[in-house]
Amino acid sequence: MAANDRNNPKRQPSSDSTYSLMEFMREYPDDAACLDRLWRERFAPDGHHAACPKCERERKFHRVSTRACYACDSCGWQIYPTKGTIFQKSTTSLQLWFYAMYLMASTRCGISAKQLERELGVTYKTAWRMFNKIRNDLMGGDDEPLSGDVELDETSWGGHPRNTLPDRKAVAKFREAKPTILGMVERGGKVRLRVIPSRRGPALSREVRGNVNPAAIIFTPLSPPSLRRLGRWRPFGSLPLSAMVRASRARASE
C-alpha cells in the first residue's frame, strides 16, 4: 500500500467536506491573495487586464504596493477591488473577512457571532458586525422563499452535554434548553440560518413554511415528527442521503 502523503491528505469520497481549512490557508495565505481574488473576480479574470474607464479600453494593470488597489499601466487610473463590497472601508483585514466567510459557510449549520469573536480574535462588536454583513449581504437577506432542492437541518448551539447526564431524557432536556439553529440551504443558491425557540415541531415547521417554497423538494435528516405540521410537504425522514435523493427523484417525476 502506498504511504499517505502527509502534506496532501486525500479526501475520502464519502467525506462531506469539500474545502478544508488547510486548503483555505493555501489559497488565501495573506491579504494580498484575498485582494487578488476580488480583483480577478470583479475586474480582471486573468489578473492583469481590465477595462480602464479613462482609456476607455482594456489595459494592463499593476498592483499598487502602497494601497489596496490596481493601477492602469498607461494612464494610472486606480481600481479598488473592495469598492462597493462589504469589505469597503472596513478596518478588519481582508484575510479575517475571508476566514469569517469560510467559517460561516463551512460549518454545517452556521456559527454565532460569539464564536466568530473567539476564532478571529476581534472584539465582539466587530465580530457581530461581520456576522451580520456576511449573513445578510452575502448569504441573501431577501424575502424570496428558497426553492428547487432545499436541504434542512437543525443543531443546538452551546456545547455538548457532559457524560454525567443520567439518561437520554436528561440529554434531550439539556438540548432543548439551548438555542436551536435551523439551517436552510438552496442547492447552488441561498443560505438561511435562523435561531428558533425550540426544536419541536411547531416552531420548526413555522420557520420552514416562512422560508421555503411549498414546491421545493426538501432533503433533510430530521425525523418526520418534527416536521409533521408541514402539511403538503413530505420530508424524507432519517434516510441516508442516497435514499433521499432517490425518493426525491421519484417524487419529482410524479
Residues 6+ apart with CB under 8 A from 71: 61, 62, 64, 77, 78, 79
Residue 75 interacting with Zn ion (CB under 5 A): yes
Q: Name the one residue in this structure whose C-alpha cell is 466567510.
A: 101
Smallest distance from Zn ion to CB 51, Å: 9
User: Which conformational region is residue 81 in: left (phi greater than 0), alpha (psi within -120 to 50 degrees), or beta?
Assistant: alpha
Local structure of 134: helix, strand or coil? helix
List the one residue from 24, 43, 77, 157 that touches Zn ion (CB under 5 A): 77
Near Zn ion by CB under 5 A, which window of 44-52, 93-101, 137-145, 166-174?
44-52
Q: Which of residues 49-68 bind Zn ion (CB under 5 A)?
A: 52, 54-55, 59
Smallest distance from Zn ion to CB 63, Å: 15
Residues 6+ apart with CB under 8 A from 121: none
List the one residue from 74, 88, 123, 136 that touches Zn ion (CB under 5 A): 74
Q: Which C-beta is closer to Zn ion: that of 52 or that of 96?
A: 52
User: Which conformational region is residue 110 in: left (phi greater than 0), alpha (psi within -120 to 50 degrees), or beta?
Assistant: left
Residues 6+ apart with CB under 8 A from 139: 104, 190, 191, 192, 193
Residue 72 interacting with Zn ion (CB under 5 A): yes
Site string for Zn ion, 107-146 (x = CB under 5 A): ----------------------------------------
Q: By CB under 5 A, how many residues form the interface with Zn ion? A: 8
Residue 25 interacting with Zn ion (CB under 5 A): no
Q: Which C-beta is closer to Zn ion: that of 52 or that of 230?
A: 52
Phi, psi of 207 (to 5 degrees): -65, -40
The DSSP output letter for 204 is: H
Q: Which C-beta is closer to Zn ion: that of 62 or that of 200?
A: 62
Q: Which C-beta is closer to Zn ion: that of 21 or that of 55?
A: 55
Contact residues toward Zn ion (CB under 5 A) are: 52, 54-55, 59, 72, 74-75, 77
